Chains A and B, each alone.
With several copies, the nearest count.
Chain A
Amino acid sequence: MDDMYREFILDHYKNPRHHGELDPADISYQDDNPLCGDVIRIDLRVDKDNRIIESAFSGQGCAISQASASMLMEEIQGKSLDEIKEFSREDILQMLGIELGPVRLKCAMLSLKVLKVGAYGVQDWVDDE
Chain B
Amino acid sequence: MSLVELDSGKIRAEFPALSREIRPGVPLVYLDTTATSQKPLRVLEAMERYYRWHNANVHRGIHTLAEEATAEFEGARTKIAEFIGAQDSREVIFTRNATEAINLVAKTWGSSNLKEGDRIVVSEMEHHSNLVPWQMLSAEQGLEINVLPVTEQGELDLREWERLLNKEPKIVCFTHMSNVLGTLNPVAEMCAQARDAGAVSVVDGAQSAPHLPVDVRAIGADFFAFSGHKMCGPTGGGVLWGRAKLLNEMPPFLGGGDMIKRVQMTGFEPNEIPYKFEAGTPSICEAIGLGAAVEYLESVGMESIWKHEQELISYALEGLGEINGITVYGPEAHKRGGVASFTLEGVHPHDIAQVLDRDGVAVRAGHHCAMPLHTKLNVVATARASFYLYNTQDEVDLLVEGIGRVRDMFR
A–B contact via C-beta, under 8 angstroms: yes
Residues on A close to B: CB < 8 A? 1-2, 4-5, 10, 13-14, 34-38, 60-64, 101-104, 107, 127, 129
Q: Once bound together, how far apart are the Cα atoms of A102 and B354, in whole Å?
A: 12
Whether B409 lies near A10 (C-beta < 8 A) is yes
A63 to B355, CA, bound (A): 11
B365 surroundings in chain A (CB, below 8 A):
36
B47-75 interface (Cβ within 8 A of A): 59-62, 66-67, 70-71, 74
Chain B residues contacting A1 (CB-CB under 8 Å) are 23, 357-358
Contact among B60, B62, B351, B379 with A63 in the assembled complex (CB-CB below 8 Å): B351
The residue of chain A having its C-beta at the shortest distance from the C-beta of B63 within the complex is: A101
26 inter-chain pairs at a CB distance below 8 angstroms, sorted by A residue, are A1-B23, A1-B357, A4-B354, A4-B355, A5-B409, A10-B409, A13-B410, A34-B371, A35-B366, A35-B367, A36-B350, A36-B365, A36-B367, A37-B379, A37-B381, A62-B349, A63-B347, A63-B351, A63-B410, A64-B351, A101-B62, A103-B61, A103-B66, A104-B350, A104-B354, A129-B74
Contact of B67 with A64 in the complex, beta carbons under 8 Å: no
How far apart are the CA atoms of A120 and B348 in the complex, in Å? 30
Q: Does B261 contact A (CB under 8 A)?
A: yes
Q: In the bound complex, what is the Cα–Cα distance between A101 and B23 (angstroms)?
A: 15
Residues of chain B touching chain A, judged by Cβ–Cβ distance below 8 Å, are: 23, 59-62, 66-67, 70-71, 74, 261-262, 272, 347-351, 354-355, 357-358, 365-367, 371, 379-381, 409-410
Given the known A-B contacts A61-B348, A104-B354, are A36 and B366 also in contact in the complex, defined by CB atoms under 8 Å?
yes
Cβ of B355 and Cβ of A107 under 8 Å apart? Answer: no
Tell me the complex Cα distance, A60–B351, Å.
Answer: 13
Complex: chain A residue closest to B379, CB-CB: A37
Q: Are A62 and B351 interface neighbours, CB within 8 A?
A: yes
> In the complex, how many angstroms separate the beta carbon of B333 from the nearest chain A beta carbon?
28
* Chain A hits for B409, CB < 8 A: 5, 10
CA–CA, A127 to B358, complex, Å?
A: 26
Contacts of A14 in B (CB 8 A): 410
Which residues of B are found within 8 Å of A64, using beta-carbon distances? 350-351
State A39–B80 Cα separation when bound (angstroms): 35
Q: A102-B70, A102-B71, A103-B62 are in contact. Are A4 and B348 (CB under 8 A)?
A: no
Tell me how far the C-beta of A3 lies from the nearest C-beta in chain B, rounded to whole angstroms: 10
* Given the contacts A36-B350, A103-B67, A5 and B61 also touching, CB distance less than 8 Å: no
A64 to B348, CA, bound (A): 10
Contacts of B60 in A (CB 8 A): 35, 103
Q: What's the least CB distance linking A12 to chain B, in Å?
A: 13
Q: When the two chains form their complex, are residues B367 and A37 in contact, meaning their CB atoms are under 8 A apart? A: yes
